Structure 1
Amino acid sequence: MGGNGKQHRWKFSILRSSSKPKLDPKTPPSEFICPISGSLMSDPVIVSSGQTFERVAVQVCTDLNFSPILGTGSRPDFSTVIPNLAIKTTILNWCDKSHTEHPHAPDYASLKSLVREMMAAEAPQVEEQIRVSEEELLKNVAENPPVNFSHAATELGPRINHFDSGSSEESVIIRESHGTPLPFTIRPTCLSCTSSSSIEISEIEIQNPSGTIFEEEEKLLMKLRSSEVFEQEEGVISLRSITRNSEEARFSLCTPRLLLTLRSSIQSRYAVVQVNAVASLVNLSLEKRNKVKIVRSGFVPFLIDALKGGSSETQEHAAGALFSLALDDDNKMAIGVLGALQPLMHALRSDSERTRHDSALALYNLTLVQSNRVKLVKLAAVPTLLSMVKSKTSDLASRVLLILCNLAASIEGQTAMLDANAVDFLVGMLKGNELNSESTRENCVAALYALSHRSLRFKGLAKEARAVEVLKEIDKTGTERASEKAKRLLQMMRAVGEEEGLECDGTMESGGLTRTGYRVGCGSTTF
């Protein structure tokens, strides 16, 4: 009777020995049983999310691109596999003590059939579950005014100047941190790029009226899951085309089934499939309601891989996707934790202007969160960012300065920038007229202003850099924003001079420390 019970519990464990094992009626501990195969583990491994499975079971799930829902309601992460020697030894010891034959690896084909059954059983439930969690996740998020986005398909018109303050539909005023950030676009640069697959997209323009979206999803899934590469190409190009302009299609097609399949397409070794898959994800991410869902579906690691090793066009779209996803406050910390900061920093040196710009904007949005500021400082990013301010591309320099403004808003970032001699560097850039656009000069003054916030150290460094004469000039000739920041800096430095007993005019501008003539000098000098 004990043998029958054991056989039923371990029905997927294939024993190679024809002799019947001497079984102990004692039931093995649940931690010895693989949650997928249901059998005693012969080669247990720990996966990234911390659970232990039979190695063959993990391999089957990886090959089928499937992550089952466990009893806890979570899905395991199979991206990393480490042998669990401790549990293996414990299982073997238990087998010896209970006179049970050591387990053998289960049959791959049998496990594959079992996993397919799990996939079929989960299919009708997954979408409903994710929709419910999505509603719960977003119910406390304040609704922002709608933003007029474009899409990740080809546009043959002129490129848009993303720093044009007159483009009200594509620009927003980012909330200020000590009044430093300036307006810039929230539209990924890759959305206006000329794609190598542009002809294919325009040739198969698909009309998708409401009411047919679910039929369209089934057609897309069939193509995307096909073993034929040309059908996969047709599938991702169709998806990219459908989601070009239709907000309804972006939201309705962002289903668990399609997202799971699209993840596989992003991993494809075929360039056309990968490029259009990532571009399709950019389109889907434009819908605000999709942003959290996409991150929670596990796309960030795949976008990071595409940013690291994809083709130039794939990298452009990967940077654009990370930028778009980073616009949602609920995604910022997760994207940083998942390791996107360092690849985005590396992408700032890309040969592609679009990749550089969207990576900079992604970093700007990510550094609105304190935890990401600390991570970026620990990556020693400050010297690199300062060197990029000298970029011949004024737009990139302006974006990099915005990142530095965010870093300066934290104690860690402010300290790192002061240690890197940022005050002297930024004053020197302003003094030498090396910043070739007004917006870049504004951001440079804003970075100085952010560094001055609650910093006694800044005051001394600014005097040494002879900042007063530069700030006076900006106050007279700069833009309204730059002049306002310069004026505040001058007022702060004058107050410091009075507190320290310095001669405000001659002494502050020369960097001297004499106290002679203090009463006369300060009483007659204004900034």
Structure 2
Amino acid sequence: MAGGEDTLVTAIFLLDLVRQICSVEIPVAGDKEKIDSVFRKDCTDLVRRVSLLTHFLEEINGQLEKLDALGSSSSSSQEMNWWSDLVAALQSANNLLSLAGSFQSTNDSDGTATKIATLFHGVTWKLEKSLANVPYDQFTISEEVQEQVALVRAQLRRATERYGSMNSREVSFAFSQQFDLDVDQAQKGNRLTRSWHIENSGSVNHKVAENIVIAVSGSNDSKDRNADLVASESKTVDCAEKDSFPNKSSEDLKKPETLKIPNDFLCPISLELMRDPVIVATGQTYERSCIQRWIDTGNSTCPKTQQKLEHLTLTPNYVLRSLITQWCIEHKVEQPTGLANGRIKKSDGSFRDVSGDMETIQATVRKISSQSIEERRAAVSEIRSLSKRSTDNRILIARAGAIPVLVNLLTSEDTSIQENTVTAILNLSIYEDNKGLIMLAGAVPSIVQVLRAGSVEARENAAATLFSLSLVDENKIIIGASEAIPALVELLENGSTRGKKDAATALFNLCIYQGNKGRAVRAGIITALLKMLTDSRNCMVDEALTILSVLASNQEAKVAIVKASTIPVLIDLLRTGIPRNKENAAAILLSLCKRDPENLACVSRLGAVVPLTELAKDGTERANRKATSLLGHIRRLQQH
């Protein structure tokens, strides 16, 4: 990589390239004034995925020059040329969008359509591989952007799997056909392939332009090497195998061997079957967890239409959910519950007949809806007891349809019914498949209501239920978007000893998701945690430090932690805490001091060097690592 200015221009070029791709106008179905492209969905999916890279490139824009300076002496050219692979992949995507957007289907165009379909496969493969080679650990990237990049990479992997397997020989072969493809299109009068646009960018000089063109297009030597690669690999492949790839039809290339899911059932963001579809202000439907993640990362537009969202309310799409459920039943694609024909499969592979148990449970579930409050109390109490006993019972209770009925009872004014109901739901959530059913029943708002206003026991078990449900990553997003976090922080401050521990466990798990850290800070969690650290009884220091260690990587949390005068308390724990607490205190201090000279100077001034030195010598392996790193930062600060 050329140094300095060239590196900076490359970053600008990458951003410009992504913005060009994002500005591509995809033909709309039914618009007679525009070409009704055969590859509309492929184009839309590609543009949407690339658009998610914008924030990543903006964040690393100013860091590439520093990375180049470091890498010029210590890294190989292969390690430092990851950017050229990314440029090549994005430029291929840009050209392909022009080519596919201008394609018109005719009777004699099947061969061209097949080649374009192959190119979509190849571009997806190239993007996925180039993003995998980016040295993310050498950049300072916010966790929100890390999540966006991870989402893009996951989408590309899934798309590659849907297209089918592909190796380097097939990718090289696919792109070696692109020139002929462009010529074919030009002869038909349809050619719309774009230029590189380098000469039109005022920020790119000719020297760098030449470097980028070579990186993307390849020099004559690189073209010869590609030709040799194709030729040499082709020699080792049977003729039938070699011929089979270019001769596949576009339908074969685009359709997976498995059952095709209707497009309307797929979330436009994740491209996966929706379980909890919701409607946004523009009328578009998305999977709840995906659109909530989009909103949590600061977006206020509809991902599909790019229109500004007038409000952020997510309305359940019950009609579509029902259609998806029916489709899943008809095509037998539901998640297995281990229950079939009145028998449950045991861990050893054998089956146990549960038809008698099923009848008993179904009768009990029916009584939950009884008009008699005494009968309802007895039935809910029995369901609580049954759900505690075994996994089989949890499966049978859910299969009997108890979960939606129990969710409705969470808001009961009868204390006994509410306590037993929330505890039964907690027990049912232990079985993994039931977590999804509980979420789909809309349980979270009612659980939060119990958490706020229930009895001591009900509040404790409501917090434990939220923890259990949050073990599924997408549920962290949905629970965080509710009012659960402020209610948990309130319980953490004012609940019973057990309630505080349940709240701490739930908050720790929820705050693993970046979008929830700011919510927890705004709910006052730092104040609550500081009280726990300075409590003379020392009963929850472990929990407080564990949560702080998760929060400390978030900028908003970092500011709040320092403002609350937590640093002196952490340094005191370095001196007097048990080994585990010393370890966590060192980890938190390191997070607070990274790229923050003011905090680093404060830690040094307050006498942290001596206990850190002792910890680096005698602490646990993790404590040693954190203490050594922090001491290194302090030494470098003192040398300047």
TM (normalized to structure 2)? 0.44
Residues of 2 paired with 1:414 and 1:446: CA distance?
A: 13
Q: 1:466 to 1:383 in 2, by over 3 A?
A: same
* Counterpart Cα distance in 1 of 2:624 and 2:613: 9
Which residues in structure 2 correspond to 1:212-251 (within 5 Å)? 212=356, 214-251=358-395
Tell me, in whole angstroms, the C-alpha distance in 1 between the residues paired with 2:565 and 2:401: 51
1:457 aligns with 2:595: no
Is the CA contact (8 Å cut-off) linking 2:459 and 2:499 kept in structure 1? Answer: yes
Identify the residue that residue 551 of structure 2 maps to in structure 1.
407
Task: Flag structure 1 segments of 5+ consecutive residues without an equivalent.
Answer: 1-68, 75-121, 140-207, 501-527
Distance 1:453 1:249, change over 3 A: farther
Residues 508, 546 of structure 2: 8 Å contact kept: yes
Whole-Å separation in 2 of the counterparts to 1:396 and 1:299: 29
| Aligned residue among 293, 298, 315 for 2:459 | 315
User: What is the correspondence of 1:40-439 to structure 2 with a 5 Å cutoff?
Assistant: 128-129=325-326, 210-212=354-356, 214-255=358-399, 257-392=401-536, 394=538, 396-431=540-575, 433=576, 435=577, 437-439=578-580
Distance 1:233 1:455, change over 3 A: same
Counterparts of 2:371 and 2:323 in 1: how far apart (Å)?
24
Residue 285 of structure 1 contacts residue 294 of structure 1 at CA under 8 Å; is this kept in 2? yes
Contact 2:362 2:400 in 1 (8 A): no
Report deviation, 1:390.
1.8
Secondary structure at the residue paired with 1:389? helix
Which one-letter code corresponds to 2:558 in the other structure?
A: Q
Residue-pair matches, total: 309
Query: Which residue identity lines up with residue 354 of structure 1 in the other structure?
Result: R
> CA distance change for structure 1 residues 294 and 130 in 2, over 3 Å: closer, same or farther?
farther
CA distance in 1, matches of 2:448, 2:361: 26
Per-residue displacement from partner, 1:80-138 (whole Å, max 9, x unpaired)?
xxxxxxxxxxxxxxxxxxxxxxxxxxxxxxxxxxxxxxxxxx9xx799549769x9898
Q: What do residues 224-277 of structure 1 show as CA deviations (whole Å, max 9, x unaligned)?
A: 001212211221122122222322332342259422210232222222211111
* 8 Å contact kept, 1:360–1:396: no
Residues 214 and 137 (structure 1), Cα distance of their counterparts in 2 relative to 1, 3 Å cut? closer
In structure 2, the residue corresponding to 1:254 is in which secondary structure? helix
Assess, with a 3 A threshold, how the Cα gap between structure 1 residues 491 and 428 changes in structure 2: closer, same or farther: same
The alpha-carbon deviation at position 340 of structure 1 amounts to 0.5
SS at the partner of 1:454?
coil
Query: Partner residue of 1:440?
Result: 581
Tell me, in whole angstroms, the C-alpha distance in 2 between the residues paired with 1:347 and 1:412.
22
Assess, with a 3 A threshold, how the Cα gap between structure 1 residues 309 and 389 changes in structure 2: closer, same or farther: same
After TM superposition, where is structure 1 displaced by more than 6 Å over at least 4 residues in a row? 130-133, 135-139
Q: Is the 8 A contact 2:489 2:523 kept in 1?
A: no
Give yes or no for contact 1:348–1:357 (8 Å, CA) kept in 2: yes
Conserved? CA contact 1:430–1:444, under 8 Å: yes
Mapped partners of 2:514, 2:364: distance in 1: 40
Separation in 2, partners of 1:453, 1:425:
19
What amino acid sits opposite 2:583 in the alignment?
E
Corresponding residue SS for 2:540: helix
RMSD over aligned Cα atoms: 3.2
Query: Cα 1:461–1:374, aligned 2, differ >3 Å: closer, same or farther?
Result: same
Residue 302 (structure 2) aligns with = none
| Partner Cα separation in structure 1 for residue 478 and residue 335 of structure 2 | 15
Aligned residues of 2:587 and 2:626 also touching (Cα < 8 A): yes
Query: Separation in 2 of the partners of 1:136 and 1:376?
Result: 38
Question: Are residues 461 and 241 of structure 1, via their aligned partners in 2, closer, same or farther at CA, if it must alter by over 3 Å?
Answer: same
After superposition, what is the alpha-carbon deviation per residue over 1:122-161, rounded to whole angstroms, capped at 9, x for unaligned?
A: 9xx799549769x98989xxxxxxxxxxxxxxxxxxxxxx
Residue deviations 1:274-302, cap 9 Å, x none?
Answer: 11111111111111222233123211111
Q: Is contact 1:282–1:317 with CA below 8 Å preserved after alignment?
A: yes
Of Structure 1 and Structure 2, the greater helix share is in 2
Q: Check the 8 A contact 2:597/2:637 in 1, yes or no.
A: no
Alignment identity in percent?
29
The letter for the 1-side match of 2:562 is L
Structure 2 contact 526–560 (Cα < 8 Å) conserved? yes
Q: Distance in 2 between matches of 1:339 and 1:456?
A: 36
Question: For the Cα contact (< 8 Å) 2:552–2:592, is it kept in 1?
Answer: yes
C-alpha contact (below 8 Å) 1:300/1:338 kept by paired residues: yes
Does the CA contact (< 8 Å) of 1:213 and 1:253 recur in 2?
no
Q: Give, in whole Å, the separation in 2 of the partners of 1:493 and 1:318.
A: 44
2:601–2:634 CA contact under 8 A, matched in 1: no
CA–CA separation in structure 2 for the residues paired with 1:295 and 1:363: 18
What runs of 5+ residues in structure 2 fail to find an aligned partner? 1-277, 286-318, 337-351
CA distance in 1, matches of 2:494, 2:516: 22
Question: CA 1:456–1:348 in 2, change beyond 3 Å: closer, same or farther?
Answer: same
Query: Does residue 481 of the first structure (1) align with residue 625 of the second (2)?
Result: no
Q: 1:315 aligns to what SS in structure 2? A: helix
The whole-number CA distance in structure 2 between the counterparts of 1:322 and 1:491 is 40
Give yes or no for contact 1:265–1:273 (8 Å, CA) kept in 2. Answer: yes
Instruction: Assess if the C-alpha contact under 8 Å between 1:367 and 1:407 holds in 2.
Output: yes
